[in-house]
Structure 1
């Protein structure tokens, strides 16, 4: 069994490590949106499904033909190495990137990933075929637990070890070399399986195991196990789809609506994989999931998770919310995967079992990543998935419960469904009572709210994404042209634009990467030119239609749709006096906008005495030293300006940190800059960030 186990382990590690390696290569091309990662995940789920379908279909072939076909595909997959994305896949800047990303992934990694996807179920079926005893054949399912354990190792190793030390291109080469080792293992197993199929053998066992096998292998008139029926197939599909929907929707909720903490996304996926290991390993291969003690807690946690969506407008304290949603995800996924393990068929049908799991996972992933953004204006998939948990619990109780426990299972699940439905309705009311507009697309969910303070002349209008404020405007006549939040008059960017305006007898040219609500246009004067770079077309529509900063500005304001860095690479030099880098949608950051290569692009568009203003306000990452490092390498000075607004009675200003990169000594010597300037503390051992290498661990606060 060692050869089978080693092949499965290597393939599963490669399977999970390739996803971030490829995604990191293409994120700089598509704007660093969370949608890029979701699209990648969807692609990998679909290819996984194709691999599982292949594993099931080839069971119709003879052992010899299976081995020949699989060996040929393994050898053919080597032609895709090394897994380096071609630059011709870069977007032009004005199209939705979904299909381009899918095409890129298909060409770059499609066949190798497909072959890795086939390994788990196919190797297990070959192992089971070698065994005379059905009991020993059932051990093949333990290889599934090993496969998920390997995936967990790959997942944890990448961000905490590999990414922090190895450049992306070197990662791709190392992965390709390890894939070559996998191909050798796969070929060895394929040829062994073909030989063993001619004369089935029993692995060497202990004396007691041998006696059991002898008894089980004795002639018997018992009929062979019947194939799974439609009910079993639908149950496998539904449980797998539900677990995947919960994984993706909980991940989105805690990273966008609770806290955009670096590496937080690793925890939900790790727990998801861990539940597979627990469900299919332990207790002699029967798994550690116990329906009588673990099912109802999952139903209870689903209800509490739905309650959490309505408490404090759906924003619980981080020290309550993260444990609640992670524990809930763990128990619900353990329920789904445990029930899958309890209903697994005889080993001869295991490839069909895995195909239905993969199909459910792919459909669940597509519903969250592709369908939901097109039919919902908010993240409704999480409350809906929580309601489905109650439905699934009632179904399991109906099919598998016995005696009083059946009533308890069904009743508890229906109560959970009722509670989730109640809080979903409250959640909907809370999300809409102060909203005047909501929109959702590939790049995320945007919502506009209005609230009028007591005694105020007019409401304050806000653009929000989860817990992240993208901009606000006091709509009163007296204040509507005043810059707010991180862009106030005493902020680093406010000071910079005003000082540069005073240095020019004519209008100044300002570039802004990241539009928000167009707040910076409030600084525009007649004769100034403002060029706004924005990747999300909905943001441009909202800034023009729902806020008045753009239309009120005397400056000439133009827009460029697409990833700013790619657009700037194509444009002729703009000769900006000020270039503002503010494309941060939350406390997570588009790293590709803060690299050595990115700075080179910016400098080509900057006047000799111009200034680049980096917005580095962040609760979790110390980004100022990163900017300082790449600036000094290019021969520029970097100065940090901190602003803590005082006397902000209307609550429209925010604490902000801006790093100015410039050679303009007159600007740096101005009193306004000197009064706000703060020393940038260097980070020992900090390497310059490049497109090929960056280390978030070094800049954690």
Structure 2
């Protein structure tokens, strides 16, 4: 019988154990899985670390810097493998790296990294990430450029221009983020998530080995020597990336990276520091790669160039005039501005991509730019600026990256710049002479000047001059905001921006963190003839308020009088003015800047007049309270929200158990949970139901028609007791009611659901 002739596999197929696999699908699927794992580990592990630093939004900023830095190392490693080694040797080394990373699986926090220092938290976090997930993340991070480089050797019809695979891999990144916030985070505990990631990693290793096999089994059409030139392999010479190109690549990659961190910090401070809030900007970041890195881009660079200046002008209004805009509009506008800017940068990067022979070098320089942007926004800016100045600055730098069009010349640009300088100087003269009135502050005037300069730019050189003029205006704008007469003091730390501001009528002074007031004092308390006394606590801490109710109930429960009171979250220190003789108060505060501001009698008088000897403990509440003896407090108040950011780790079953271990048998635990976005009462009710605590909840607006004094705010407060009788006067107070979980899942250190809390809040009609 005649033997059938065996046909070799086509360039578009690979065979494994008798199974034919399309090469393009194999590489695309492997890149998808690699990207999926790369970006799912970031929110997962950051959430795991978050409680170590009090739920600070800075955790995600530092995490972004770390992951970008390791991504750079991965890209440099991939570039070195393709540049200096043969494909066979590169495959062997990468296989060893992938297998070595298995030692760190399943992922978790390494031993010896339990307690962060009081200072240099950023460096400590970088070390924690490095020893815990550094090698696995490094191994996965190299796959995108490495697999694309290998794909060029498969002989596939698209092998000459594999950049489209980078856009395809970002679909995996995009999918991983939304699958994480919609399915993994609300449905799986952190330990289970780690096991799933481990399983995915093992599948990835197998897939990469199959990709390697598809390259090795094909006849070599290129030199196996790593440094073979284009002429040696029979192709036309290919020009290497120039220094000018490198500079452009760095700028176009740095701006999106830095903007991502700056915008994420803004959102996390005002809503919640949790994966759901981190994912929104990052997913838009990845989506721009999907849109831009295509053979036929969905949106042209020319169109983006034309609308980017409009986005910058809108950004000026959103950033400098937040009071005049609805919160939801401001948030949406920020995301839109961010998306347009990042999409332009990435589309421009793709437009300027080099030949495929320079692929790994191109990705390497992109990664360098990303790291530089991340370092600026995540590490440098928080330590240089006392407000989030990097956000508007980065928007202006993005304008500088626009290509010159419409006949713009150096001379016309200089004329427009000089015109802008003249207007700015005139403005400052007007402010110093008092010619310009303070109508809603100076921001309206600033916007008017921006509008005039924009108009001049359009008339003279179209949009290109806008970049020059607005960039020059950045410094005076920053100075203007800092010199605003209502801002007495601004201080920025790892945990956010704290401002001391006087009200517009000059009658009160407030501490503001983000968008939330953390205390208020009447300016009359600073009058020379007042002397040392007890300033009246205002805001949420007035004697008629909910937290004062819980303190009186605790005193009633103690009977003979309380000995020890604990307060987590200092604010202005106004709650100290409720202290009585014989009571010892201890305050736990994670942010040194809050202590410094509140303790300064030039800003606030509560600590100096009511509690000069109060013990201040610096650090995260859970970590510092663990060191206290059991049964120490008769009353413990948890008032640790930063702006509207929710410290999730202080609301879990384990956290409540820790708090009660430090409270006397008949003592009370109160939690201040006022915020604008999340429904949290049912979360705490679920803990009470699980462990048998008695609770009461006071919700603002619970008593219809209730009026409060000026500068006194209603609060949402939950109070816990071991026995209902310990709640005393709260049981008969119409402001305080029982509450049920209504099926809300129990939050633990291993599980929480921010998305569900947001949805419940929206449907509650609050």
TM > 0.5: yes
Partner residue, 1:489: 543
Secondary structure of the residue that 2:656 maps to in structure 1?
helix
Q: Cα–Cα, structure 1 residues 491 and 589, in superposed 2: closer, same or farther, change >3 Å?
A: same
1:51 to 74, 99, 102: 74
CA contact (8 A) 2:271 2:677 kept: no
Match of 2:673 among 604, 611, 616: 616
1:500 aligns with 2:554: yes
Which of 133, 157, 175 is 1:109 aligned to?
Answer: 133
Q: Which moved more, 1:173-182 or 1:247-256?
A: 247-256
Contact 2:686 2:740 in 1 (8 A): no
Structure 2 counterpart of 1:447? 499
The alpha carbon displacement at 1:668 in A equals: 2.6
For normalisation by structure 1, the TM-score amounts to: 0.89
Query: Could you say what secondary structure the match of 2:77 adopts?
Result: helix
1:233-252 Cα shifts (integer Å, max 9, x gaps): 11111100011122222333
Q: CA deviation at 1:666?
A: 4.4
Aligned to 1:668: 727
Does the alignment pair 1:560 with 2:617?
A: yes
For the residue of structure 2 that corresponds to 1:273, the secondary structure is: helix
Q: Is the CA contact (8 Å cut-off) linking 1:32 and 1:592 kept in structure 2?
A: yes
Change (3 A) 1:484 1:44: same
Q: Which residue of 1 aligns with 2:469?
A: 418
Cα distance change of structure 1 residues 414 and 618 upon mapping to structure 2, 3 Å threshold:
same
Q: Could you list the per-position Cα deviations for residues 504-559 of structure 1 after superposition, in whole angstroms to 9, with x for gaps in the alignment?
A: 43443111111111121010111111110111111111111132211212685111
Offset at residue 222 of structure 1 (A): 7.0
Q: 1:194 aligns with which of 186, 204, 216?
A: 216
Task: Please show how residues 515-594 of structure 1 align to structure 2 within 5 Å.
Answer: 515-545=570-600, 546-553=603-610, 556-573=613-630, 575-594=632-651
Q: Residue 639 of structure 1 contacts residue 660 of structure 1 at CA under 8 Å; is this kept in 2? A: yes
| Distance in 1 of aligned mates of 2:206 and 2:488 | 60
* Structure 2 residue 309 is the aligned partner of structure 1 residue 299: yes
CA contact (8 A) 2:273 2:646 kept: no
Within the alignment, does 1:247 sit opposite 2:260 as a pair? yes
Cα separation, 1, equivalents of 2:399 and 2:612: 56
Q: Does structure 2 conserve the Cα–Cα contact (< 8 Å) formed by 1:513 and 1:580?
A: yes
* Residues 567-596 of structure 1: CA deviation (Å, up to 9, x unaligned): 111222252111011111132311110111
Q: Tell me: CA distance 1:45–1:436, structure 2 relative to 1, closer, same or farther (3 Å).
A: same
The one of 250, 266, 274 aligned to 1:237: 250
Distance 1:396 1:509, change over 3 A: farther
Between the aligned partners of 1:692 and 1:186, the Cα distance in structure 2 is 32
Residues 262, 620 of structure 1: 8 Å contact kept: no
2:685/2:740 contact within 8 Å kept: no
Q: 1:435 to 1:200 in 2, by over 3 A?
A: same
Q: CA deviation at 1:618?
A: 2.1
TM-score (norm 2): 0.82
Aligned to 1:208: none
Q: 1:571 to 1:681 in 2, by over 3 A?
A: closer
Question: Per the alignment, do residues 173 and 409 of structure 1 end up closer, same or farther by CA in structure 2, a change over 3 Å counting?
Answer: farther
Query: Counterparts of 1:98 and 1:70 in 2: how far apart (Å)?
Result: 31
Residue by residue over 1:306-364, the C-alpha shift from the partner in whole angstroms, topping out at 9 and shown as x without a partner, is 12222255x63123212322221111111101110011111110100001111111110
The equivalent residue for 1:318 is 327
Aligned residue number for residue 346 of structure 1: 355
CA RMSD of aligned residues (A): 2.9
CA shift, 1:394, in A, is: 4.4
Tell me which moved more, 190-199 or 333-342: 190-199
Native 8 Å contact 2:252 2:345 kept in 1: yes
Determine helix, strand or coil for the equivalent of 2:152: helix
- Whether contact under 8 Å (2:55, 2:273) holds in the other structure is no
Find the residue that maps to 1:78 and give its secondary structure.
Answer: helix
- 2:376 paired residue number: 367
Find the aligned partners of 1:679 and 1:661 in 2 and give their Cα distance. 11
The correspondence for 2:714, drawn from 655, 658, 663, is 655
Cα distance in 2 for partners of 1:375, 1:220 equals 52
Matching residue of 1:509: 564
Q: How many residues align?
A: 669
Post-superposition Cα deviations, 1:416-475, rounded to whole Å, max 9, x if no partner, equal: 44246547744642443121211112111111112363xxxx741111122122222223
Report the more deviating stretch, 554-563 or 384-393.
554-563
Decide whether aligned partners of structure 1 residues 169 and 96 sit closer, same or farther in structure 2, where only a CA change above 3 A counts: same
SS in 2 for 1:327: helix
User: 2: distance between equivalents of 1:593 and 1:312?
Assistant: 30
What is residue 205 of structure 1 aligned with on the other side?
none
CA pair 197-374 structure 1, distance change in 2 beyond 3 A = farther
Distance 2:136 2:408 in 1: 40
Tell which deviates more after alignment, 290-299 or 258-267: 258-267
Relative to structure 1, is the Cα distance of residues 80 and 260 closer, same or farther in structure 2, using a 3 angstrom cutoff?
Answer: closer
